[in-house]
Structure 1
Amino acid sequence: MDGLPLDSYYDLTSPGFQLAVSPDGQRVAYTVAEFDADADDPHGSLFVVPTDGSREPHRLNRASDAGPAKWGPDSKRLAFVAARDEDLGLTVAGDETEEAADTDPEAGEDEDGAEDDGEGTGGGNGDEPKSQVWLFDLVRGGDARQVTEFDEGVAEFDWGPDGERLVVSARDPSERAEADAEAREDGPVKTETERLQHVHEGQGFLDEVATYLFVVDVETGEQRRLDHTGTATAAAAQGLGPAWSPDGDCIAFVANQRADADDSNARDLHSIAPDGDDHVVHTDGGVSAGRGAWDDAGDRLAFAASPADDVYEPTEPHVLDRESGDVESVAAGLDRTLWYFGGPCWVDGDILALVGDEGRTRFARFDDDGGGATRLYEDQRATESLLTFDAAGGTAAAVISSPDDGVDVYGLDVDALVARTEVSRTRLTALNDDLLDRYEQPGCRKLTVESDDVSVDAWTFYPSDFDPDAPDARPTVLAIHGGPAFYDQPLFQFADAVLTTRGYIVCRVNYRGSTSYGSAFSGALRGRWNSVEVDDLLAVTDELVERGWADPERLFATGFSQGGINTAYLVTRTDRFAAAAAEHGIYDARSAFGTDDSHVWWGQEFGLPWEDGDTYDDISSLPDVGEVDTPTLLTAGANDRRCPPEQAEQFYVSLRKQGLDSRLVIYDDGHDISTPVRAIHRLEELIGWFDRFDPATDDVSREAYDPHGREEDDEDDEVE
């Protein structure tokens, strides 16, 4: 069946999750991911647009990538993190620069000294540029100027209020770590460690190199390390979330500096003076804190935090009172989780943030004294969600997504938003209009189904020619979200467009365990994977069939990560699906323990496998693989440290050993699909697999199955 061409993926433009409204409120900076078909790479582009929509967006970079940006306090300079070729101004600066470069002959090579495989902690191939802070002067114009020079790059940064200094997060290898790396460079050892947390997704094997905060002079690049900020946890390598107070006297950051850091998901809130004195730890190891935002006076810091030992409990806004040192949640019984990319942000003395609320993301205002929380933006459409926002200078900007209108950046009236009056919004971008013009957008409807006397929501996306009130049964894909502490919402998604334009209904269930419905609903899954959520998935499937929406002979199931875990378990429990695709999941919890990067999470939720072995078996699908009678596609990433590829191999071999139809595809990737060609290949595999076992497909087409238009030589594929 014809549908949206898969190579249209190259025309997809995806906004980043960090907007930056200028302090004067007049402009917003944002990044987008665009795809280079020739290089098969995502390209990060940085744009600036007036918040009133008075002119078209202006592209700042053309030759290389750009990452998230932050405005200087004067609203005239824009700094961002990017891995670009070294600034020519530094290259020709003279003997002083050359001497500095020569002090570390091994700078830029992987810490383990081995050939880079794309997942080393040291930051990749030594020939590739590292992420540094760059600076656009939007008054003078011209290209960006490089501000920092760190051997292993910069993770993130914040401006000092004087506009003369930055605080950055960066790894700082010790002499011992460098000596160890040099000794192993030509030796037989891939890694040597005595760390409990020895690997992490996206980083590979971990070393002992700590991440610190550094204060950097914007003009000279001179840097000073803040010694008390160092931590070598896997999370620290992603940055310490520095936030410099408006009075310039304090820098807040998050880190786990505890003795058991490798056996804890804690991220404490810390503060320190810019000269390295007055280091204070403000939380007690019980929370996992995120980056904070100071109020205008610098007296209070708002930050998101969740319990360090329970992923199902809501992430809530907290406030640090700088004078007293007290930290309190200001969620005031809302029982909703903060969205990952949505604040908190100070507006007129109150805290604005995005919350997950029954399968949608929306604004909420929190009183700074904990007196209450209020849902905002009452005129928000029912089938759209917010993805991120920022506010400054009396103006807000947000990324808003919906399945029929796409995803774009909008300017919002902050006063109207906080006052809960009708909010006028100005569309500032047209990111995917050309792509949207090529196909009929899907319809979208939320279903609510009773499952074990619990109400469960499901977002359904259907072809433009389908009438849900006078339905004709269609092939239906049960698409199961990951997490599990996550939620599906009405969004513009390329995969949904691909399927609905080929005649499929796509159903995304917010099963028990999903967030945005309160702690009791989410916590119902704690310690008992592949139980109540599977009941919910099947209850929604029954409802789709009973409504006449889904053809009972043409049901398909798929999911990624936790969704892959559930997909594999579904086919051990029922044969009602014509075909299934379990992607990047875990199917034998016992053997996953210690080979993945989630031992802390496993221990907190399920106990230890040598103490609670029955629980590990109960949440696994491999012990019941003999019950499977459904053709099942397995995919995995060769470098996946979250759900190792051996998990897919075990399930695949067990199916083939029984003579069942199965297929294994291993991507040369981690837990995510990182390049356009692999994303397209994945969709080809899914569609081809479902079509191969669709009862409506004729036998000739089924026998000639070839999802990529080439002869199939092997039972399994490794996609480079």
Structure 2
Amino acid sequence: MKKQKLSLIFITCLGLIGIFIVAFNGWSQKERAITREEQLKLPQSWSVEDASSQPLFTSVEPSPDGKYTLVAQKYPPQDEKQKPLLVITLMENKSHKIIWKTPLDKNFHSPQWSSDGNYISFLSFNEKNIPSLQITPFKTFEPQIALEKEGLAAYLWSPGSHQIALISRDIKRIESLTIEEGMVFLNTEDEIEKTNLLILSDPLDKKNISKHVPLKDSTIPEVFSKPEMILTWSRDGDSLVFVSEGKKEGLFSVDLKSLRIEQIHQGGHPSYPVFSPDGKYLAYVADVAKEADHFPIKRRALFIYDLETKKTTKQLETPLGNPILLGWFADSQALLVEEGYKTLRRLYKVPLHGESVEVLNKENDQLISKVSLNSSSTQIGFVLESLTEEPAASISSIESFDPRPLFNQFLITLPLQAEVIKWPSFDGKIIEGILVYPLDYKKGARYPLITALHEGPYGAWEQKFLGGCANNIYPFSPAVFASKGYAILLPNIRGSSNYGIDFAKAIDKDIGGGDFKDLIAGIDFVIEKGVADPEKLVIWGWKYGGYLATHAIVQTNRFKAAIVGLGMIDLISFSETAKDNGFLKSYLGSTFWENKDLWLIRSPIMHVEEIQTPTLLLYGKQSNLFPIGQGKELYYALKKRGVPVKMLLFTNEGDEVDLSTQSIKAGLEHTLAWLEQFLSPDPNKRYSSDVTHKRKNTK
């Protein structure tokens, strides 16, 4: 009996000890989890690996009833053999519960809700790279192919969900031979031969009917963002309105019963057509002035077309003349509009009948982007971020802007200081920019300053998350450089967007003039603030910014290092070899043979004897807009003159494609190594690159 009692006591003690151990381990694991979460929320620095692996939100689409949201994310490819990984998640808004995710071994993109909210559709590619339209019931991920067709580019559901309009393109492949450094290359390039508009009736029926709408001489432009930019359905589903470019530029409607096509608006680069909920009006965006002005940036406005009288009856202005039309309010009495505003983006409610424009997100100091309005005109989805807070997929009612984040990937808040600053330029014009302070910044100490110039020139630095690499299109992450002890200036010099048309036109016939003086004034301002070390200045630029960075090192030897990405070096050869060869004529106001002096003065290669700054060149071998020959001209000229120069060539990437994780890492690491080589006084502290990037061509 005593033995039994002792055994029972022993077993009980063991049980209590076991419970204590389990509880302790659980508590310990919980503490470790909390600690890890806190580390993610507030990292101590930001590495090349962190920046190169950042996912991007590509769309946030609320359901028609506002209860669910489709969130699409894109992850950069690991190397040149892979494509970006696209993941689409269906979430319940109230609980933030994930209903389903697309599988990682399939790439779905361009998600849409059917107008009734019962189905979700995507585009996908098979093993032969042929696109297909696939549809699934929204609560269960069971996609079925509705149409598979080569050249399928975009699609849009009709209001009743009984039809889908599709845009497809007949592609002609052009082959050519080039000889480069003793080697012969076979080049292939796809050219759009014909654009087709197809109507898919009863898309859920396996015997669905595809109707071809002949467009004659009209050409629907390529879809760079969403199909709503170029295509819209009438409320009764009997007609479509589409944008045409080329010889028959304008806005056209097509009656789907008679196939009769009528022109609504001639010229003016129209976009974002959308019918009012009551079916009485068509709203769209177009250029205000139609006169022959060589400058490419025009003031744009909202136009209202009366469907009964078949006349454009109203022209509505926005504060800065560059609206993106998102849709109508449900009562058909106002338009929902997005527009860049300085370093942020604003949402406007634009009434039809003369009332003042209302700023919906005026009290919010975070950046919104990728805004989508649901089909019932009640809710918007968007990406919300700030300079130090990672992007989050978010939703809000359009009647009262109150952002509700759904989820973000890492819950990261960067431990960096950054602010918007302003300074007067040479002519009194006030220039704005973003100043990022180095990690562990101490007031009174001076730091190396990187001045980074954005692409464009009609673009702008906005208050995007500093840890990313601008949608993975160039290898520059301010947080990486701030973590290494650099201050960063992101100036929105004249010519930038988000400050009005007059500000954009301030570089008309003057590229490399006033814009260069603006950036120099900004650098001097940061030096006067006591932040920048005047002996450790760096200039970085991409595309147009790459041109201006090269122009800057021609004008002054103040910079200790320069990084030029896809820059225009020889304006004359660029104008005759680049794909978009009308760009320089539109900004300089003439061809080079009509105004030789201006072209030669503003062409960096003509003044290469002035350059003393060590220069790192970054180019994509597949770039058509910014040919690698531009970089090679500068590389060989500086090499012959004995100026330190290196060229990093991404052989499988161009100018508008997604840089892979490997390429972003290579670009960042080589840039850091270049800066350390020419800015660090102590050789022992120099950054050493261990990149073995097979796509580089470092010379």
Identify which of 232, 246, 251 aligns with 2:240: 251
Measure how far apart 1:475 and its partner are.
Answer: 1.5
**Which letter maps to 2:211?**
R
Q: Is residue 22 from structure 1 mapped to residue 63 from structure 2 by the alignment?
A: yes
**Using the alignment, how far apart are the partners of 1:379 and 1:714 within structure 2?**
47
**Using the alignment, how far apart are the partners of 1:527 and 1:557 within structure 2?**
23
Distance 1:313-1:47 versus aligned 2 partners, 3 A rule:
same
Q: Which runs of 5+ in 2 are unaligned?
A: 1-43, 179-186, 469-476
Q: Give 1:193-592 correspondences, 5 Å limit.
A: 205=189, 207=191, 209-217=193-201, 218=203, 219=205, 220-228=207-215, 231=218, 235=222, 241-258=230-247, 267-275=249-257, 277-285=259-267, 287-306=268-287, 310-327=295-312, 330-332=315-317, 334-338=319-323, 343-349=326-332, 350-369=334-353, 371-381=355-365, 384-393=367-376, 394-417=378-401, 424-433=402-411, 436=412, 440-451=414-425, 452-466=427-441, 470-493=443-466, 494=468, 495-592=477-574
Deviates more, 1:613-622 or 1:554-563: 613-622
**Using the alignment, how far apart are the partners of 1:715 and 1:322 within structure 2?**
57
**Using the alignment, how far apart are the partners of 2:194 and 2:51 within structure 1?**
39
**Using the alignment, how far apart are the partners of 2:444 and 2:250 within structure 1?**
53
1:487-542 CA deviation, whole Å, 9 max, x = no partner? 11111132122111111111110100011111111110122211111111000000
**Using the alignment, how far apart are the partners of 2:557 and 2:313 within structure 1?**
50
Tell me the equivalent position of 1:65: 107
The answer on whether the counterparts of 1:213 and 1:229 sit within 8 Å (CA) in structure 2 is no
The answer on whether the counterparts of 1:79 and 1:133 sit within 8 Å (CA) in structure 2 is yes
The answer on whether the counterparts of 1:206 and 1:234 sit within 8 Å (CA) in structure 2 is no
Identify which of 621, 633, 641 aligns with 2:624: 641
1:681-707 CA deviation, whole Å, 9 max, x = no partner? 11112111111111x3423566xx752
1:395-439 CA deviation, whole Å, 9 max, x = no partner? 22221121222101112132223xxxxxx3211012232xx27xx
Q: Give 1:588-599 correspondences, 5 Å limit.
A: 588-599=570-581
Distance 1:247-1:499 versus aligned 2 partners, 3 A rule:
same
Distance 1:465-1:686 versus aligned 2 partners, 3 A rule:
same
Measure how far apart 1:229 and its partner are.
Answer: 6.0
Tell me the equivalent position of 1:687: 672
The answer on whether the counterparts of 1:361 and 1:385 sit within 8 Å (CA) in structure 2 is yes
**Using the alignment, how far apart are the partners of 1:701 and 1:208 within structure 2?**
52
**Which letter maps to 2:164?**
L
Q: Secondary structure at the match of 1:67?
A: strand
Cα RMSD (Å) of the superposition?
A: 2.9
**Using the alignment, how far apart are the partners of 2:252 and 2:210 within structure 1?**
21
**Which letter maps to 2:150?**
D
The answer on whether the counterparts of 1:65 and 1:84 sit within 8 Å (CA) in structure 2 is no
Tell me the equivalent position of 1:611: 594
Q: Secondary structure at the match of 1:258?
A: helix
**Using the alignment, how far apart are the partners of 1:671 and 1:686 within structure 2?**
18
**Using the alignment, how far apart are the partners of 2:309 and 2:513 within structure 1?**
46
Q: Give 1:662-701 correspondences, 5 Å limit.
A: 662-668=645-651, 669-672=653-656, 673-694=658-679, 696-699=680-683
**Using the alignment, how far apart are the partners of 1:627 and 1:388 within structure 2?**
46
Distance 1:649-1:677 versus aligned 2 partners, 3 A rule:
same
The answer on whether the counterparts of 1:47 and 1:58 sit within 8 Å (CA) in structure 2 is yes
Q: Secondary structure at the match of 2:623?
A: coil
Which 4+ residue blocks in structure 1 deviate beyond 6 angstroms?
236-240, 712-715
Measure how far apart 1:367 and its partner are.
Answer: 1.8
Measure how far apart 1:328 and its partner are.
Answer: 6.3
**Using the alignment, how far apart are the partners of 1:252 and 1:708 within structure 2?**
54
Measure how far apart 1:75 and its partner are.
Answer: 0.4
Tell me the equivalent position of 1:197: none
**Using the alignment, how far apart are the partners of 2:610 and 2:84 within structure 1?**
41
**Which letter maps to 1:252?**
V
Identify which of 38, 44, 49 aligns with 2:86: 44
Measure how far apart 1:664 and its partner are.
Answer: 1.0
1:327-379 CA deviation, whole Å, 9 max, x = no partner? 4674436234236xx72454542111211112211111212346542222222
**Using the alignment, how far apart are the partners of 1:706 and 1:355 within structure 2?**
43
1:459-509 CA deviation, whole Å, 9 max, x = no partner? 112234225xx3421121101111111111111132122111111111110
Tell me the equivalent position of 1:163: 161
**Using the alignment, how far apart are the partners of 1:642 and 1:412 within structure 2?**
38
**Using the alignment, how far apart are the partners of 1:44 and 1:709 within structure 2?**
27
The answer on whether the counterparts of 2:420 and 2:433 sit within 8 Å (CA) in structure 1 is yes
- The structure with the greater share of residues assigned to strand is 2
Q: Which has the larger radius of gyration?
A: 2
Q: Secondary structure at the match of 1:458?
A: strand
**Using the alignment, how far apart are the partners of 1:647 and 1:525 within structure 2?**
23
The answer on whether the counterparts of 1:42 and 1:676 sit within 8 Å (CA) in structure 2 is no
**Which letter maps to 1:164?**
H
Measure how far apart 1:36 and its partner are.
Answer: 5.3
The answer on whether the counterparts of 1:208 and 1:232 sit within 8 Å (CA) in structure 2 is no
Q: Secondary structure at the match of 1:379?
A: coil
Distance 1:295-1:333 versus aligned 2 partners, 3 A rule:
closer
Measure how far apart 1:657 and its partner are.
Answer: 1.4
**Which letter maps to 1:459?**
I
**Which letter maps to 1:222?**
I
The answer on whether the counterparts of 2:277 and 2:328 sit within 8 Å (CA) in structure 1 is no
**Which letter maps to 2:270?**
A
When normalised by structure 1's length, the TM-score is 0.80
Distance 1:10-1:645 versus aligned 2 partners, 3 A rule:
closer
**Identity across matched positions, percent:** 18
Distance 1:617-1:231 versus aligned 2 partners, 3 A rule:
farther
Tell me the equivalent position of 1:652: 635
Measure how far apart 1:204 and its partner are.
Answer: 7.0
Distance 1:637-1:623 versus aligned 2 partners, 3 A rule:
same
The answer on whether the counterparts of 1:11 and 1:34 sit within 8 Å (CA) in structure 2 is yes
Deviates more, 1:296-305 or 1:683-692: 296-305
Distance 1:227-1:590 versus aligned 2 partners, 3 A rule:
same
Q: Is residue 78 from structure 1 mapped to residue 123 from structure 2 by the alignment?
A: no
The answer on whether the counterparts of 2:253 and 2:261 sit within 8 Å (CA) in structure 1 is yes
Distance 1:277-1:605 versus aligned 2 partners, 3 A rule:
same
The answer on whether the counterparts of 2:436 and 2:482 sit within 8 Å (CA) in structure 1 is yes
**Using the alignment, how far apart are the partners of 1:626 and 1:431 within structure 2?**
49
Distance 1:241-1:360 versus aligned 2 partners, 3 A rule:
same
Deviates more, 1:162-171 or 1:45-54: 45-54
